[in-house]
Copies of this chain bind each other. A is one copy, B any other.
Amino acid sequence: MQESPDFDFAGLDALFAPRSIAIVGATDSVERIGGIPLDYLLRFGYTGRLHAVNPRAATVQGLPAHARLTDIGEPVDLAIVAVPQAHVAAVLEDAAAARVRSMVLFSSGFAEIGAEGAAAQQALQKRAREAGIRLIGPNCLGFMRPGHQTYATFSPAPNAGRVRPGRIGLVSQSGAFGAYAYSLARERGLGLSLWATTGNEADVQLADGLAWLARDPETDVIMAYMEGCRDGERLRAALALARERGKPVVMFKVGTSELGAAAAASHTASLAGNDAVYDAVFRRYGVLRAHTISDFFALAASAAIAPRPRDRSIGILTVSGGVGALMADDASAAGLDVQALSEAAQRQLREWVPFAAPRNPVDITGQVTNDISLLERSAELMMQDRNFASWLGFFAAGGLSDAFWAVLRALVEKLRAAHPDTLLAICTLCSDARRAELEALGCLVFSDPSAAIRCIGALASLSPPAGQGGAAPTPAAAAGPAVRLAPGGLSEAQSMALLAEAGVPVVPHQRVQTAQQAADAVQALGGAIALKVASADIAHKSEAGGVALDLRTAGDARAAFERIVARARQACPGARLEGALAARMVHGGVECIAGVHRDPVFGPVLMFGLGGIHVEILRDVSLRVLPVTREDALAMVQELRTFPILAGARGKPPVDLQSLADALCALAGFAERAGDTLASAEINPLIARPRDQGGCLAVDALVIGTPAATAAATACTAAA
């Protein structure tokens, strides 16, 4: 996968950092769409050149009005276009003639209204690209850059109070959500570097905004609201850039889009909804995904204040044992490591407070109100003992008390100075002003202890930026020549052969065309065999009666061949039968399933799970977008809820995890070499066995070439 689409940063700079702005359709009325941005720009003090364009006015809001963009006679970086849909094309021609470099297009009436609008949008997109004009919209609320007094929006939100400039950039596909998020940012005191809405995304997409923010020196943290992605490669490139620059991306994605028809026949696709693929993409690039709006803002605000914890260790100090237990429970759910203090430190704490809980969480009890010095002593003792990557103190309503506040503030100052690379967090009730004071010291402040733990857990999951051990690990190489698959489903034998060639261990097998060949296969394959009818038209061979297992003698095999062919003919009268596949029986082991499915947006997605109900009913599968490293492949196996089964539950020997990781890498390599010609490849079952039994073994496989839709439509499914 190529990960470097051209973002045209110069064009995006003209859009988001314009030295001159023209408002087309500018009016005097500051409540109308053409009046609002000019009003903001004038009132809030935009320092670049400003031009009003309105053919029916001499002046607008005190500025001389030009009839057309071409009349301005000066370079225009950005045109804010607030005209009805019917006039947009003409304005674009004007803009091209005037060499305008970028454009915000508020107008609705494009792709969102149906085919006719979509055609108009397509034309617009084409013309803008020809003219070298970067275009945000149409049907968007535009953008704002609070630190530069740049207000290219008609959202009324800034009139209720402006968001202060800050180091968080926010890009939203939705205008409604964007306006809401603007208000939330203001109410929560968040500072923004950029606020942008991308609307119909004729040209500038969410990904462009993310990429621009990844390079923006005024941005530390990126917030993104997404409903769906058309261009997976662009999104991945933007996320890769943000990770490379060490900027956390906090993502809020809602909704799920339809799976492509090509995916319908593939098991993999039916198992992993589209949203799970987004999750896999986010995970690939270390994106923090928020699932509530509260967490969306809490995560972004926290990431902007606190350093990334260097590991998952956390020290917790509390004045309530109950809340301590709550935080410990939450911490374990969040994957944080609540390491016990050393025996010596615990003894010391017990000396100070006989009924303290000294392990971690450390509960110094209400005793702290009698001896306030306990606070600092305990905190320092904890940090000296374990040098926790994160430290969280719970102080109930202490932040509301003037006396306690003074002590708390001093504590945070001392801890910050003594442990500059530790994530500090305080959970207490306090005023917004006090909260801001602690935040200015680089200390997170929460009112809800569970929210505190969730945030710290999320931040601890961030990977270090490039240059600090955080460079993307090298993917497992897709060695070998390119593979070009014919469209449609391959036979089991063909599928097995391709995968074997790619390095997947497959069960000894051979094609048999007659009952006699089936009988001979028992000896040829060296033991009991399974027989399965061979037909690209039969998707579910078992349900069609086309499978016979554990055939130990030539006689058994002969009879079974006749039987399964007859049954399959009856169940699927139209299916083309091509004899059967004889394979050596594999006994024992754990049935797994591994697959690759081409997602229409994000390309090949690797899947692994335990077979049968664990995949189908419990949805216990792990996914990764390609390319994957060998570590990724191993992690896919280990993160299953059912992993203990593979690790050797109930006294059974552990399976060979390395051979599973190797098989997944081989499958991924095959998918990469097959490129666009692969719709899906699935190994089901992939039998996981202990190392001394030879590791894992593919027993059945189905490879489908693009377009898969055809293959799917003609498949015979005997199941109800």
Contact = CB atoms under 8 A, between A and B. Distances in A.
Interface stretch (A180-188, A510-518, A520-528): A180-188
A320 B645 contact: no
B293 A612 contact: no
Given A187-B429, A448-B292, A177 B401 contact: no
Given A156-B401, A180-B320, A183-B429, 18 more contacts: A112-B355, A157-B397, A160-B397, A160-B400, A160-B401, A177-B322, A182-B397, A183-B397, A184-B429, A187-B397, A227-B325, A254-B322, A254-B326, A255-B329, A292-B450, A293-B449, A613-B642, A617-B641
A365 B325 CA distance: 44
Contact of A641 (B365, B429, B618): B618
Interface string A169-183: 000011111011011
A320 B227 contact: no
Given A254-B322, A651-B720, A176 B396 contact: yes
A254 B182 CA distance: 36
Q: Which 8 A-B pairs have the closest CB atoms?
A: A183-B397, A176-B320, A180-B396, A292-B450, A255-B325, A254-B325, A177-B322, A254-B326
B450 A255 contact: no
A196 to B, nearest CB: 15
A613 B322 contact: no
A319 interface: yes
A322 B160 contact: no
B397 A451 contact: no
A651 B112 CA distance: 42
Contacts of A642: 613, 617-618
A2 interface: no
A294 interface: yes
Interface in A338-378: 354-355, 365-366
A365 B179 CA distance: 13
Contact of A225 (B175, B179, B184, B322): B322
B649 A616 contact: yes
A717 to B, nearest CB: 11
Given A175-B366, A227-B322, A319-B176, A613 B651 contact: no
Contacts of A612: 650
A516 to B, nearest CB: 32
Contacts of A694: none
Contacts of A227: 321-322, 325
A602 B183 CA distance: 49
A719 interface: yes
Contacts of A177: 320, 322-323
Contact of A450 (B184, B291, B322, B365): B291
Query: Taking the full assembly, how many copies of this chain does it contain?
Result: 2
A112 B401 CA distance: 28
B450 A719 contact: no
A451 B292 contact: yes
| A175, A184, A323, A397: most-surrounded residue (chain B CB, <10 A) | A397
Contacts of A617: 641-642, 644-645, 649
Contacts of A325: 227, 254-255
B180 A543 contact: no
Nearest to A620: B618
Interface of A: 112-113, 156-157, 160, 173-177, 179-180, 182-184, 187, 225, 227, 254-255, 291-294, 319-323, 325-326, 329, 354-355, 365-366, 396-397, 400-401, 429, 448-451, 543, 612-613, 616-618, 641-642, 644-645, 649-651, 719-720
Nearest to A173: B322
Contact of A294 (B321, B329, B448): B448
B322 A176 contact: yes
Nearest to A643: B617
A719 B651 contact: yes
29 contacts: A112-B355, A157-B397, A160-B401, A173-B322, A174-B320, A176-B320, A176-B321, A176-B396, A177-B323, A179-B397, A184-B397, A225-B322, A227-B322, A254-B322, A255-B325, A291-B450, A292-B449, A292-B451, A293-B326, A293-B449, A294-B448, A294-B450, A613-B642, A613-B649, A613-B650, A616-B649, A617-B642, A651-B719, A651-B720
Contacts of A543: 651
A73 B187 CA distance: 59
A184 to B, nearest CB: 7
Nearest to A365: B176
Contacts of A618: 618, 641-642
Contacts of A156: 401
A133 to B, nearest CB: 26
Contacts of A255: 322, 325, 329
Contacts of A113: 354-355
A160 B355 CA distance: 27
Nearest to A619: B641
A716 to B, nearest CB: 15
Contacts of A293: 323, 326, 448-450
Contacts of A182: 397
A174 B363 CA distance: 13
B396 A183 contact: yes
Contacts of A329: 254-255
Nearest to A225: B322
Contacts of A355: 112-113
